[in-house]
Chain A
Amino acid sequence: MSRFFDLTQLPDARGHFGPYGGRFVSETLSFALEELENIYASLKDNPEFQAEFDDDLKHYVGRPSPLYHADRWSRQIGGAQIWLKREDLNHTGAHKVNNTIGQALLAKKSGKPRVIAETGAGQHGVATATVAARLGLKCEIYMGAEDVERQKLNVYRMHLLGAKVVPVESGSRTLKDAMNEALRDWVTNVDDTFYIIGTVAGPHPYPMLVRDFSSVIGREARRQSLEQIGRLPDALVACVGGGSNAMGLFYPFVEDDEVAMVGVEAGGEGVATGRHAAPLTANAPRGVLHGNRTYLMSDEGGQVADTHSVSAGLDYPGVGPEHALWKDVGRVTYVAANDDDVLAAFRELTRVEGIMPALESAHALAHARELAAEMRPDQHIVVNLSGRGDKDIHTVAKIDGIEF
């Protein structure tokens, strides 16, 4: 099937990635999306815009982020060498800021004084509140009430940054519901509001522009691999909820056929139990939610299913449409890591390397551990350490029976 698609030339003009993607939105949003598409088209290849973006990434975010050889952990596992792309060292502590810097520049160009965002774990909310503070934009963050509870630290960070956090009580009270509410806000305030979507999902052009802004991760990792390893890695591993950090790492390698890629979804209590957030691994049926067609967990009647994951950031029933296509054409393999293995990987990296990963990123680590064990010591795996784990201390402590 891959011969039918040039994976570097997608999406098509209507935002489709093969059968996925598109712009399935109410007419009330069409205008805003057309406007965004036009703004992005006019700036995408503009050298001044790119220079401004690169400058912010360098001086504000602190890029390039290191590619760190987890030597001790690799030796313990006794297989392939594991390299960590240290997105946790970015300003605000996760890869999300790459995209919010880019979209904030678009917001500035559009002249809109207010930004909104949805957030799951709170990393995208914090990154949005951060750029909003810097640009003097009014900021409101929609967050599922359940996530507000389990990510208190990030909620307060956003508050300190001057953003208003709106807990969303509808539906499953998690990320998908936060996105519904953000879309409702946008439809109502479209004249003065820019919606900063945090993942490679949503209606066209979001999957494309979030991918483009996030791809700095993979461009750096590719260059750093050549410098530090002396060649391209044998495999890339990244966690996938909506899929922005995986997309950011993978996309610049998409034509490097010798580089295997593995996306790790949230297996929750196990894909077989049904209590997970792994639409690709579980072969969920095709569906439409939040403006795009993709693999979507839903029941027989088409109602969107509740998801389960220890990590708020991966607790989403769909996945970015480009990942859906990559699964179908076989360019990327998608697997799931269960909560228990994720927590074990979280503890292990913290103890062995002194790096505390976000629970989201720990999904990638859990799988990388298994994969490395099956490989030779002269082989190399690059894992996207997409965020730091401070925000998750509460969740892990609770599992350990400790309340602060």
Chain B
Amino acid sequence: MNRIDKRFATLKSQGRKALIPYITAGDPAPSHTVDFLHACVEAGADVIELGVPFSDPMADGPVIQKACERALKHGTRLVDVLDMVVDFRQRDSETPVVLMGYLNPIERMGYDDFARRAQASGVDGVLVVDMPPEEIDENAALFDEHGLQSIFLLAPTTSDARAATICGHGQGYLYYVSLKGVTGAATLDAAAVGEQLDRLRRLTDLPLCVGFGIRDGASAAAIGQVADGVIVGTVLVNQIAERADDPASIPAALQSILGEMREALDREAVS
């Protein structure tokens, strides 16, 4: 069984919610990324979303744009990100890793090459922001053959017909974008998200995880009430940005945020 499916099965049996941090690989410099990943796991992360930096992150707000710029300043390429996963796997063979990013670096590497290398590196899933199910075509089967689950986004504006298509193609979990806009935008309304998730549950048995707008323990717990997991990116990347000159302080800062969320999610689960 794929690590992602296994992890969600375990969480379900425990009645717990998934905590899924996102960080951009290579930010503030490539040598730190693997340490950050381990720190996230120690603080209770269930799945890791590892961002592949891209020059034109069209769906991201300024925080993650700048993270990409910092990573690219150090020349962080897709091959380097895969090497980071290899390194991470030396000490962690359990935590699922999902690569998140844009299509062009994969397109340029070549789909066959990418699928083979990602599998060999220990990647479990791929979330390509600008590759909706309509455009994934034969690559869905290719990724599947190489044990890479295709994770897709769903939005509040997604029509029922499209939601059915996406649920049909989705694997691992579905990433529900809770807000209109780019990453790092505004605050969210857990009740409204809950209604939307109810609509989706009629279409799929996949775990529904919610991203965009989760900032602290309280918002994580509120979303944890209605979703199977929470995805947290911008607040973590903000810490990395603020502490870019003192990277040794970053793991503890990430752990402080994730620890609070973990505790809040688990408290809600038992209550």
Residue-wise, chain B 52-95 has the 8 Å CB interface mask toward A (1 for contact) of 00111111111001000100100001110000000000000000
- B57, B132, B134, B182: the one within 8 Å of A187 (CB): B182
Q: Are A187 and B59 in contact (CB under 8 A)?
A: yes
User: Is B185 engaged at the interface, CB distance under 8 Å to the other chain?
Assistant: yes
Q: Which residues of B contact A91 (CB under 8 A)?
A: none
The smallest beta-carbon distance between B191 and chain A, in angstroms, is 20
Q: Are B108 and A34 in contact (CB under 8 A)?
A: no
Residue-wise, chain A 261-296 has the 8 Å CB interface mask toward B (1 for contact) of 000000000000000000000000111111101001
User: Is A123 engaged at the interface, CB distance under 8 Å to the other chain?
Assistant: no
Q: How many angstroms from the CA of A274 to the CA of B101 in the assembled complex? A: 27
- A191, A285, A286, A304: the one within 8 Å of B56 (CB): A304
| A27-B152, A187-B180 known; A288+B166 contact, CB < 8 A | no
User: Is A180 engaged at the interface, CB distance under 8 Å to the other chain?
Assistant: yes
Q: Are A28 and B55 in contact (CB under 8 A)?
A: no
User: Is A400 engaged at the interface, CB distance under 8 Å to the other chain?
Assistant: no
Q: Are B135 and A22 in contact (CB under 8 A)?
A: yes
Q: Are A26 and B55 in contact (CB under 8 A)?
A: no
Q: Which residues of A contact B62 (CB under 8 A)?
A: 170
| A288-B130, A302-B107 known; A31+B155 contact, CB < 8 A | yes
Taking CB atoms and an 8 Å cut-off, the chain B residues in 152-176 that contact chain A are 152-155, 157-159, 162, 166
Taking CB atoms and an 8 Å cut-off, the chain A residues in 31-46 that contact chain B are 31-32, 34
Q: Are B108 and A287 in contact (CB under 8 A)?
A: yes
A296's nearest neighbour on chain B, judged by CB, is B104
| A287-B108, A301-B78, A301-B105 known; A26+B153 contact, CB < 8 A | yes
User: Is A183 engaged at the interface, CB distance under 8 Å to the other chain?
Assistant: yes
User: Is B140 engaged at the interface, CB distance under 8 Å to the other chain?
Assistant: no
Taking CB atoms and an 8 Å cut-off, the chain B residues in 105-122 that contact chain A are 105-109
The smallest beta-carbon distance between A35 and chain B, in angstroms, is 9
Interface size of A by CB at 8 A reads 39
Q: Are A287 and B104 in contact (CB under 8 A)?
A: yes
User: Is A298 engaged at the interface, CB distance under 8 Å to the other chain?
Assistant: yes
User: Is B19 engaged at the interface, CB distance under 8 Å to the other chain?
Assistant: no
Q: How many angstroms from the CA of A302 to the CA of B108 in the assembled complex? A: 5
Interface of A is mostly: mixed
Residue-wise, chain A 170-208 has the 8 Å CB interface mask toward B (1 for contact) of 110000110010011001111100000000000000000
User: Is B11 engaged at the interface, CB distance under 8 Å to the other chain?
Assistant: no
The smallest beta-carbon distance between A192 and chain B, in angstroms, is 11
Q: Which residues of B contact A188 (CB under 8 A)?
A: 180-182, 185
Taking CB atoms and an 8 Å cut-off, the chain A residues in 321-360 that contact chain B are none
Q: Are B153 and A27 in contact (CB under 8 A)?
A: yes
User: Is A300 engaged at the interface, CB distance under 8 Å to the other chain?
Assistant: yes
Q: Which residues of A contact B192 (CB under 8 A)?
A: none
Taking CB atoms and an 8 Å cut-off, the chain A residues in 14-64 that contact chain B are 14, 22-28, 30-32, 34
User: Is A76 engaged at the interface, CB distance under 8 Å to the other chain?
Assistant: no
Q: How many angstroms from the CA of A123 to the CA of B114 in the assembled complex? A: 41
The smallest beta-carbon distance between A146 and chain B, in angstroms, is 16
The smallest beta-carbon distance between B89 and chain A, in angstroms, is 22
User: Is B48 engaged at the interface, CB distance under 8 Å to the other chain?
Assistant: no
Q: Are B107 and A27 in contact (CB under 8 A)?
A: no
B176's nearest neighbour on chain A, judged by CB, is A27
User: Is A303 engaged at the interface, CB distance under 8 Å to the other chain?
Assistant: yes
From B54, B65, B130, B159, name the one whose CB has the most chain A CB atoms within 10 angstroms: B130
Q: What are 16 A-B pairs at a CB distance below 8 A?
A: A23-B134, A26-B130, A26-B153, A27-B153, A28-B157, A30-B157, A176-B56, A180-B58, A184-B181, A187-B180, A188-B181, A286-B107, A287-B108, A288-B130, A303-B72, A304-B104
Additional A-B contacts beyond A30-B132, A31-B158, A302-B106 (14; CB < 8 A): A24-B130, A27-B152, A27-B177, A30-B155, A31-B159, A170-B69, A171-B55, A184-B182, A187-B180, A188-B181, A188-B185, A285-B108, A287-B108, A302-B54
